[in-house]
């Protein structure tokens, strides 16, 4: 009863991982937003920062999970 209706941003450069996470979250009645890079995650967060949770892949090209997290914190992530 805790999860239904929650919004989760899932960030991973691997499409299979994104689809797997989306399927599981949808079964739990969670609303997933998928991002394939740190840049896409920043864009999604800029459009709506009301995510209840963010799941970040640490090993992504160009901008890894730690760099993405730091950028999101500067945008107001709490």
What is the phi/psi pair of residue 52, to 5°?
-85, -25
pLDDT given for residue 1 in this prediction: 67
Q: What percent of the chain has pLDDT over 70?
A: 99
pLDDT given for residue 49 in this prediction: 79
Report the distance separating Cα 47 and Cα 33, nearest Å.
11
pLDDT tens sequence for the chain (78 residues): 688 899 999 999 999 999 999 999 999 999 999 999 999 999 999 998 789 999 999 999 999 999 999 999 999 887
pLDDT given for residue 73 in this prediction: 93
């Amino acid at each position: 009863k805790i999860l239904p209706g929650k919004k989760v941003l899932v960030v991973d450069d691997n499409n299979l991982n994104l689809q797997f996470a989306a399927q599981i979250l949808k079964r739990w009645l969670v609303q997933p937003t998928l991002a394939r890079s740190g840049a896409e995650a920043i864009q999604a967060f800029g459009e709506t920062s009301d995510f209840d949770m963010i799941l970040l892949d640490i090993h992504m090209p160009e901008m890894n999970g730690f760099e993405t997290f730091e950028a999101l914190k500067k945008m107001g992530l709490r």
